[in-house]
Structure 1
Amino acid sequence: MTRIVSSFAEISTNYDAAFVDLWGCVHDGVKALPEAVAALQAYRAAGGTVVLVTNSPRPRASVEVQLEQFGVASDAWDTITTSGDSARAAMFEGAVGSKVFHIGVPEETAFFEPLHIIENPVEVTKVALDDAEGIVCTGPFDPHADPSELRPQLLLAKQKGLKLLCANPDIVVDRGETREWCAGAIAELYTEMGGESLYFGKPHPPIYDLARRRLAATGKDIPDSSIIAIGDGIRTDILGAMGEGIDSLFITGGLAAKETLTKVQPDETALNDYLEKEKSAPTFAIGKLR
């Protein structure tokens, strides 16, 4: 049974490290969430280690710059793990070939910058779909357009037998008060159409393997039993934590605020109904990270 808690501090002493989602938990895509930042600062001050684990398609250096722009204090976290870094490693290892068709906004050039941890990386070139050996999807061309608008391109890709590398498994995010589509929605559509999508972010294992390596690089040997995952995505953050066998704190006031009737805290009956429908069992739940 999922236990509703009033603050992270209520349970944080049971854990030596936290894998913390960003969007919807620490910031809203526009600005930092002050209570969440303060909670993580207090956790670190008491000896806890915070690994930010995000499905952002960006490299971690780019995410760090973004956090500073949003006003997330640097003493609220120790290290960063991104879906983008996991996916980039696979791309430079040749997961979708050397000639790729890029689905995403033109500004996401950092995804294609060299990744020096890969030995003998594939030389990746962006080409037109007709010439592509695979697809790299960092997000929609237009985050406000329905993913179904990409059906013609995806149908051609499926007919060519192309694999789609998904840099961000999230389906949607809320940027402030506006909901936007993510790369996961396109990958999901491609799979439904019979294409093959490759995932590297939450809830899939590669990003957790990278998060553990980043945690170990801080100099601490922390077992899974002493790690808690925090996030608002029931099918990403919580499903991933369940798959990895680690405890989780579900932030109900993010993507599932409507379904859980969350104002300050979730309605217990609505929360239980939602979790039963999703066949999910987070260890704890709270309205907002605080």
Structure 2
Amino acid sequence: MTRIIESLSQVGTNYDVLFCDLWGCLHNGQQPYLAAVAALQEFRRNGGQVCLMTNAPRPNPYVIAQLDRMGVPRDAWDIVVSSGDAAQDAMFDGAVGRKVWHIGTDKDDGFFNDVPAEWADAPAVTRVPLDEAEGIVCTGPFDERSETPEDYRARLMLAKQRGLKMLCANPDIVVDMGETRIYCAGALAEFYEDLGGTSYYFGKPHAPIYQRARRLMNLGDQARILVVGDGIRTDVKGAMQEGIDCLFVTGGLAAEAFGPDVESPDADLLREWLATHGASPELSIGRLR
């Protein structure tokens, strides 16, 4: 049974490290949540470390630049690990071939153009039209504000018939951009699987992103880690699969399920909803603070 807490400070001393989600927890895609920033700063002042762990499909320098533009202070975190980092490794390793059809926007060009030093000598990965592709790399819809997975049915059916594999750089299904809910790469990858295609995932809840964070932070088996996130299929599921404690932020994607006060989830509604989803986060909170 999950325990509802009022602030991170109630449990912070029980943990050495936070794996903290971004969208819905630290910011809304446009501006930071000031109480969440303050909570992370306090955790670090008390000796903890913070890994901002995001399913953003871009390498972490682009995520850091976005945080800087939003005004998230750098003393609120130690490192940033993105789904784009883990997926980029797989792409340059040839997971879906060297000629790929890219589904995504220009803002994700860095996924292809900024080659990590460890892959500098690898054969080039080039973007080509669908009919020339050996595989697919999906970082999100072409028009994330208006398109749905159904808009891709014909093209993905053709890709499936050709046996192309899809590398999904962001397993999220949806995120909230301010007040607007938009589809992510995960929605397209899931839709492709429904059509009979094959998709590979590298962000939350899948193991590669957690392995990368542990390696970069030099975390041993005894490190006390707390996952903080609002995604039941990503943050909570990933924590459960990794055997890590989780603080579920109810005021994010599923906020409407827990009563009228986003800051104070209704305990009965929350427990019923979690049971329906087969999830058991150790802790829950309305908004990270």
| TM-score normalised according to structure 1 size | 0.96
Report the Cα distance in structure 1 between the residues aligned to 2:119 and 2:225, rounded to whole angstroms. 28
Q: Which residue does the alignment assign to 2:107?
A: 107
Q: Cα offset for 1:259?
A: 1.4
Q: Which residue does the alignment assign to 1:231?
A: 229
Q: Which amino acid is the alignment partner of residue 165 of structure 1? A: L
- The aligned length equals 286
Q: Which residue does the alignment assign to 1:267?
A: 266
Q: 2:244 aligns with which of 243, 246, 254?
A: 246
**1:54-133 equivalence runs, <5 A:** 54-113=54-113, 114-118=115-119, 120-133=121-134
Q: Cα offset for 1:122?
A: 3.0
Q: Which residue does the alignment assign to 1:32?
A: 32
Q: Cα offset for 1:224?
A: 5.5
Report the Cα distance in structure 2 between the residues aligned to 1:22 and 1:50, rounded to whole angstroms. 12
Q: Cα offset for 1:223?
A: 3.3
Report the Cα distance in structure 2 between the residues aligned to 1:50 and 1:223, rounded to whole angstroms. 17
Q: Cα offset for 1:108?
A: 1.4
Report the Cα distance in structure 1 between the residues aligned to 2:34 and 2:194, rounded to whole angstroms. 39
Report the Cα distance in structure 2 between the residues aligned to 1:175 and 1:267, rounded to whole angstroms. 25
Q: Which residue does the alignment assign to 1:150?
A: 152
Q: Secondary structure at the match of 1:242?
A: helix
The answer on 1:202 being equivalent to 2:165 is: no
Report the Cα distance in structure 1 between the residues aligned to 2:120 and 2:111, rounded to whole angstroms. 18
Report the Cα distance in structure 2 between the residues aligned to 1:179 and 1:149, rounded to whole angstroms. 17
**Residues 80 and 214 in structure 1, CA contact (< 8 A), matched pair in contact too:** no
> Percent identity, aligned pairs only?
54
- Point out the more displaced range, 206-215 or 113-122: 113-122
Give the 3 Å change call, closer, same or farther, for CA 288–97 of structure 1 in structure 2: same
Q: Secondary structure at the match of 1:237?
A: helix
Report the Cα distance in structure 2 between the residues aligned to 1:266 and 1:119, rounded to whole angstroms. 49
Q: Which amino acid is the alignment partner of residue 232 of structure 1? A: D
Give the 3 Å change call, closer, same or farther, for CA 122–278 of structure 1 in structure 2: farther
Q: Cα offset for 1:276?
A: 0.9
Report the Cα distance in structure 2 between the residues aligned to 1:122 and 1:15, rounded to whole angstroms. 42
Structure 1 gap ranges (5+): none
The answer on 1:183 being equivalent to 2:181 is: no
Q: Secondary structure at the match of 1:145?
A: coil
Q: Which amino acid is the alignment partner of residue 97 of structure 1? A: G
The answer on 1:16 being equivalent to 2:13 is: no
Report the Cα distance in structure 1 between the residues aligned to 2:64 and 2:117, rounded to whole angstroms. 19
Q: Which residue does the alignment assign to 1:173?
A: 175
**Residues 266 and 286 in structure 1, CA contact (< 8 A), matched pair in contact too:** yes
Q: Deviations over 1:78-115 (max 9, x none)?
A: 00100001000000000010000000012311000212
Q: Secondary structure at the match of 2:7?
A: coil
Q: Secondary structure at the match of 2:280?
A: coil
Q: Which amino acid is the alignment partner of residue 82 of structure 2? A: T
**1:41-60 equivalence runs, <5 A:** 41-60=41-60
Report the Cα distance in structure 1 between the residues aligned to 2:276 and 2:223, rounded to whole angstroms. 27
Q: Secondary structure at the match of 1:188?
A: helix
**Residues 137 and 168 in structure 2, CA contact (< 8 A), matched pair in contact too:** yes
Report the Cα distance in structure 2 between the residues aligned to 1:27 and 1:223, rounded to whole angstroms. 30
